[in-house]
């Protein structure tokens, strides 16, 4: 069983920055793709961004493009989400996702992933 843990998040003001971290057990980060999703109250879980296993390919959802940056440190089995220029509409629970199936792409659908973090709340006040 793979354990996926998250850290970061909190309450910030519009325009501030936050960084989320995601770590997984089992030395799997370097083998599999990972991603970030978020879910706001009353809404479905949506992709924030995804990164391939090598880190060479990234994909960002339109609402966060140019503001958020995904990166990964395969040596330390950790993925990051740097969130800049936060807006109130970014308020949501953010989830880290890890794919345990072979592939070299960045994957954008929730069903592409097999393991999920516990979620961390990000709240942006106006």
Give residue-wise pLDDT tens across range 89-100. Answer: 999 999 999 998
- Phi/psi region, residue 30 (left: phi>0; alpha: psi -120 to 50; beta: rest), is alpha
The confidence score (pLDDT) of residue 30 equals 76
* CA distance readout (Å), 97 to 13, 32, 110: 26, 10, 8
Going by their DSSP bridges, the two strands 58-60 and 46-51 should be labelled as: antiparallel
**Radius of gyration for the chain, computed over Cα atoms and rounded to the nearest angstrom:** 13
The confidence score (pLDDT) of residue 26 equals 76
Residues of the chain scoring pLDDT < 50: none
The confidence score (pLDDT) of residue 31 equals 84
The confidence score (pLDDT) of residue 48 equals 98
The confidence score (pLDDT) of residue 46 equals 97
The confidence score (pLDDT) of residue 100 equals 87
């Amino acid at each position: 069983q793979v354990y996926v843990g998250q850290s970061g998040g909190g309450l910030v003001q519009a325009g501030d920055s936050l960084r989320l971290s995601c770590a997984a057990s089992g030395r799997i980060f370097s083998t599999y793709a990972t991603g970030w999703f978020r879910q706001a109250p009353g809404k479905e879980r949506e992709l924030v961004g995804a990164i391939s296993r090598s880190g060479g390919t990234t994909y960002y959802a339109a609402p966060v493009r140019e503001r958020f940056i995904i990166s990964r440190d395969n040596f330390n089995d950790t993925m990051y989400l740097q969130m800049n220029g936060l807006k109130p509409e970014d308020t949501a629970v953010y989830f880290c996702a890890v794919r345990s199936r072979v592939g070299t792409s960045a994957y954008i659908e929730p069903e592409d992933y097999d393991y999920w973090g516990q979620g961390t709340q990000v709240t942006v006040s106006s």
